[in-house]
């Protein structure tokens, strides 16, 4: 282990620029990355980073008809599809691409599987199909389009998906025989973000969801014979989310996770004709986060998100009686849940604070019990030496209780005040959870920092009311939550309020910038990756297929009153308040938060004389998916944060 003091000494030898001093832009290239004002990375830092970057995870994707399974895992630089034949057996790689696989599904009843892939993180996904045994993958979709939500009929003879074209906010519902790409056709041209979610047992109807925002879904049914679509009036009566809806009761009802009539999301059965809801999961203060129903409609499994931790429940769907439970699962966060084709086994993907992610199966017959199928590696890391996050709560300006997970460094001398990194998640309708977080573990160990990951208002997992507390004009209330967290840090005897940095990506990148404009005098600096710097330019330049969804969350810049709010709160409008160093990172192909958002904030920070480092990856989009790029960004973060914490 490279201890913080030793690493500090090593970094002190490197010729680094003095922070908070204006300078000419110094540019160099490493692979596909352009680095501006970033000093040379010491070899010792690269070594320290690799210890935490060489882990692998296994993500369950689907069952194959023979009882084996498809997973995604990384043996090179990107995640690819592998087959696992039985518990503990080797992973056989099936796809070999430079770009990561976005997901894989078995074509029901066949030895073929479907997978999605984009180019350089641009999110213009194409769909391909190929046999498990090998052979060239056949492309099912049209180049230059974005394709998502692939949904198979139960017999595997019909595939439906949604397709967007450049410059349009509308999706079309496409259908095809997955074995014959020439049968591809438009089944219905929709309006807005529509996508198929299920196909009826007789292949005559497609259940479609239209996402108006991350808080509101409407459901409709497409009749393939007539091409007519009927919106289910009850889904539009009151704004609510309907997640993972599927036909049940021979197509007379829908099973879905919804917050309709509740502050939390429940699993309910809904009569299609009347909209009458029958709860399937019991009353709880926590959300149902995922579920699956066996093909024969008998066995049901669902997972509860209890303060960030997942708990899997298994029951008989017909009688509602509890079945034997997979109680020996590790305590962590669910990544997959699906019954085998015969309904006898349940695949469960889990990640924990000390394991990157693996797959178990639970035998409902009681014969095999709980079996671990994959054993993913953590590289050189010893799980016993990793930090376990502590769940804390602090009171905000309006007495709201805000939860946060805290990773504390080990082997810190008594009485030592550690530096602090406040890591704010994206979304904003996301949630920091106690799964595998190599960055938090790394910063706690190598930098000797306490890492705090708050779930500020607007985060998911704590009910609809909490989710809506930062909407539109209330956007900066979540920034004030971080101000309350800074107050909490100041009261802790083992934390150093004079050495606090803010850190975030995507919406968390906006939060990092916004926090710097409000509390720059209480921070030593900030890191932001592909964050929103100007609400108006972001909404005008984000891809058309997602613009209306984002307006529903953030507010509509075309509305004069909302535009005035954006002009007041955008970080770019308040950039002169930032007086501490910033590190900005961006993917050039990002369709969500385009490169222009980072370019303009870097430009204005430098114009104000603020030390600003900038890293631009030419082959990444919204998030850095290739291992070598992730390695480099962690190296740059290490040098930057260490210098912040050691600066006088």
pLDDT reading at 10 higher than 90: no
CA dihedral 87, 88, 94, 100 (to 10 degrees): 100
CA-to-CA distance for 213 and 193, rounded, in angstroms? 9
521-544 residues labelled b (16+ CB within 10 A) or e (exposed): ebbbbbbbbbbbbbbbbbbeebbe
Q: Measured between alpha carbons, how far is residue 486 from residues 160, 638, 642 in Å?
A: 49, 22, 20
Structure tokens at 125: 């996904």
User: Measured on CA atoms in the order 380, 383, 387, 389, is the torsion positive or negative?
Assistant: positive
Structure tokens at 437: 């977080």
Identify the DSSP state of 477: H
CA-to-CA distance for 105 and 90, rounded, in angstroms? 20
The count of other CB atoms within 10 Å of the CB of residue 405 is 23
The count of other CB atoms within 10 Å of the CB of residue 261 is 11
Packing angle, helices 475-490 and 560-569, rounded to 10: 30
Query: Is residue 552 helix, strand or coil?
Result: helix
Question: Region 253-261: what's the mean pLDDT?
Answer: 97
Task: Give residue 648's pLDDT band: very low, low, confident or very high (50, 70, 90).
Answer: low
609-639 residues labelled b (16+ CB within 10 A) or e (exposed): ebbbbbbbbebbbbbbbbbbbbbbbbbbbbb
User: Measured on CA atoms in the order 52, 55, 61, 62, is the torsion positive or negative?
Assistant: negative
Q: Which residue has the tokens 């998502």?
A: 148
Question: Region 489-518: what's the mean pLDDT?
Answer: 97
CA-to-CA distance for 279 and 259, rounded, in angstroms? 11
Question: Region 456-471: what's the mean pLDDT?
Answer: 95
Burial of 145 (0-12, 13-18, 19+ CB in 10 A): middle
CA-to-CA distance for 538 and 425, rounded, in angstroms? 18
Contacts of 285 (CB under 8 A, 6+ apart): 264, 463
State the pLDDT at residue 23: 58
Rounded to the nearest integer, the mean pLDDT of the chain is 94
| Cβ 600 vs Cβ 541: under 8 Å | no
* Percent of the chain whose predicted confidence (pLDDT) is above 90: 91
pLDDT reading at 15 higher than 50: no
Residue ranges with strand state E in 75-215 = 79-84, 91-93, 101-106, 112-117, 126-131, 134-139, 145-152, 159-165, 171-177, 180-189, 194-199, 205-213
State the pLDDT at residue 552: 87
Task: Give residue 164's pLDDT band: very low, low, confident or very high (50, 70, 90).
Answer: very high
Packing angle, helices 627-646 and 43-53, rounded to 10: 120
- Is omega for the bond preceding 428 within 30 degrees of 0, making it cis? yes
pLDDT digits (tens, 9 = 90+) for 312-354: 999 999 999 999 999 899 999 999 999 999 999 999 999 999 9
| Cβ 339 vs Cβ 363: under 8 Å | no
pLDDT reading at 14 higher than 80: no
Burial of 507 (0-12, 13-18, 19+ CB in 10 A): buried
The angle formed by the CA atoms of residues 114, 587 and 138, to the nearest 5 degrees, is: 20
pLDDT digits (tens, 9 = 90+) for 567-611: 999 999 999 999 999 999 999 999 999 999 999 999 999 999 999
Higher-confidence residue: 473 or 513?
513
Lowest mean pLDDT among 10-14, 78-82, 368-372, 534-538: 10-14
CA-to-CA distance for 630 and 644, rounded, in angstroms? 21
In the sheet that holds 180-189, the strands lie side by side as 145-152, 159-165, 171-177, 180-189
- Is omega for the bond preceding 219 within 30 degrees of 0, making it cis? no
User: Measured on CA atoms in the order 53, 59, 65, 68, is the torsion positive or negative?
Assistant: positive
CA dihedral 432, 435, 440, 441 (to 10 degrees): 170
Element (H, E) at 62: strand 59-63
Question: Region 250-266: what's the mean pLDDT?
Answer: 97
pTM of the model: 0.93
Burial of 584 (0-12, 13-18, 19+ CB in 10 A): buried
CA-to-CA distance for 39 and 27, rounded, in angstroms? 10
Structure tokens at 493: 């005897």
Task: Give residue 526's pLDDT band: very low, low, confident or very high (50, 70, 90).
Answer: very high
- Domains, in order of start, for the chain: 4-54+380-646 (3.40.50.1820)
Question: Region 534-558: what's the mean pLDDT?
Answer: 93
Do you know the residue count of the chain? 648
State the pLDDT at residue 8: 41
Query: Is residue 106 helix, strand or coil?
Result: strand
Q: Which residue has the tokens 């993917």?
A: 587
CA dihedral 138, 141, 146, 148 (to 10 degrees): -80
State the pLDDT at residue 18: 40
CA-to-CA distance for 599 and 616, rounded, in angstroms? 10
User: Measured on CA atoms in the order 60, 63, 68, 72, is the torsion positive or negative?
Assistant: negative
Task: Give residue 471's pLDDT band: very low, low, confident or very high (50, 70, 90).
Answer: confident
Task: Give residue 472's pLDDT band: very low, low, confident or very high (50, 70, 90).
Answer: confident
State the pLDDT at residue 2: 39
Structure tokens at 576: 């002169």
pLDDT digits (tens, 9 = 90+) for 166-193: 999 999 999 999 999 999 999 999 999 9
State the pLDDT at residue 647: 64
| Cβ 63 vs Cβ 341: under 8 Å | yes
State the pLDDT at residue 22: 52
């Amino acid at each position: 282990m490279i201890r913080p003091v030793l690493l500090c000494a090593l970094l002190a030898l490197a010729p680094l620029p003095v922070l908070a001093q204006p300078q000419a832009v110094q540019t160099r290239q490493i692979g596909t990355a352009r680095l501006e004002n970033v000093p040379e990375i010491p070899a010792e830092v690269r070594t320290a980073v690799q210890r935490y970057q060489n882990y692998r995870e296994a993500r369950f994707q689907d069952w194959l008809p023979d009882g084996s399974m498809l997973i995604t895992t990384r043996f090179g630089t990107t995640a690819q599809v592998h087959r696992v034949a039985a518990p503990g057996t080797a992973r056989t790689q099936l796809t070999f691409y430079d770009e990561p696989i976005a997901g894989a599904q078995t074509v029901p009843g066949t030895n073929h599987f479907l997978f999605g892939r984009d180019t350089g993180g641009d999110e213009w996904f194409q769909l391909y199909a190929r046999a498990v045994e090998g052979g060239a993958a056949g492309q099912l979709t049209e180049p230059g389009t974005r394709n998502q939500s692939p949904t198979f009929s139960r017999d595997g003879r019909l595939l439906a998906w949604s397709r967007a074209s450049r410059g349009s906010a509308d999706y079309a519902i496409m259908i095809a025989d997955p074995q014959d790409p020439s049968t591809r056709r438009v089944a219905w041209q929709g309006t807005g973000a529509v996508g198929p979610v299920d196909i009826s047992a007789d292949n005559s109807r497609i259940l479609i969801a239209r996402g108006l925002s991350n808080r509101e879904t409407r459901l409709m049914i497409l009749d393939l014979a007539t091409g007519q679509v009927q919106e289910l009036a009850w889904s539009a009566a009151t704004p609510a989310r309907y997640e993972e809806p599927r036909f049940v009761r021979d197509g007379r009802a829908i099973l879905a996770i919804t917050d309709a009539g509740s502050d939390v999301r429940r699993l309910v059965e809904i009569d299609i004709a009347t909209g009458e809801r029958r709860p399937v999961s019991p009353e709880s203060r926590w959300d149902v986060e995922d579920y699956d129903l066996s093909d024969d409609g008998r066995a049901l499994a669902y997972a509860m998100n209890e303060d960030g931790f997942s708990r899997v429940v298994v029951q008989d769907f017909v009688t509602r009686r509890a079945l034997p439970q997979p109680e020996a699962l590790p305590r962590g966060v669910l990544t997959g849940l699906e019954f085998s084709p015969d309904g006898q086994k349940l695949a469960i993907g889990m990640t924990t604070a000390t394991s990157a992610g693996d797959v178990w199966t639970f035998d409902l017959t009681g014969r095999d019990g709980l079996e671990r199928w994959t054993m993913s590696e953590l590289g050189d890391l010893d799980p016993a030496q990793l930090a376990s996050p502590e769940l804390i709560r602090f009171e905000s300006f309006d007495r709201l209780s805000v939860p946060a997970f805290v990773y504390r460094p080990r082997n810190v001398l008594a009485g030592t005040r550690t530096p602090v990194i406040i890591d704010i998640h994206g979304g904003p309708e996301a949630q920091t959870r106690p799964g595998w977080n190599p960055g938090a573990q790394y910063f706690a160990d190598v930098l000797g920092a306490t890492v705090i990951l708050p779930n500020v208002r607007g985060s998911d997992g704590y009910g609809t009311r909490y989710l809506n507390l930062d909407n539109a004009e209330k956007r900066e209330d979540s920034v004030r939550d971080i101000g309350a967290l800074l107050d909490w840090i100041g009261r802790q005897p083992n934390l150093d309020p004079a050495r606090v940095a803010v850190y975030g990506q995507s919406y968390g990148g906006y939060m990092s910038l916004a926090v710097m404009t409000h509390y720059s005098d209480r921070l030593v600096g900030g890191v932001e990756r592909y964050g929103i710097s100007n609400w108006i330019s972001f909404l005008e330049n984000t891809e058309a297929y997602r613009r209306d969804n984002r307006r529903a969350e953030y507010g509509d810049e075309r509305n004069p009153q909302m535009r005035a709010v954006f002009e007041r709160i955008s970080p770019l409008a308040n950039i002169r308040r930032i007086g501490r160093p910033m590190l900005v990172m961006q993917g050039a192909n990002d369709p969500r938060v385009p490169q222009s958002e980072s370019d303009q904030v870097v430009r204005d920070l430098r114009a104000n004389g603020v030390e600003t480092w900038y890293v631009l990856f030419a082959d990444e989009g919204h998030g850095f998916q290739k291992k070598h790029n992730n390695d480099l960004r962690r190296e740059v973060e290490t040098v930057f944060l260490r210098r912040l914490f050691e600066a006088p």
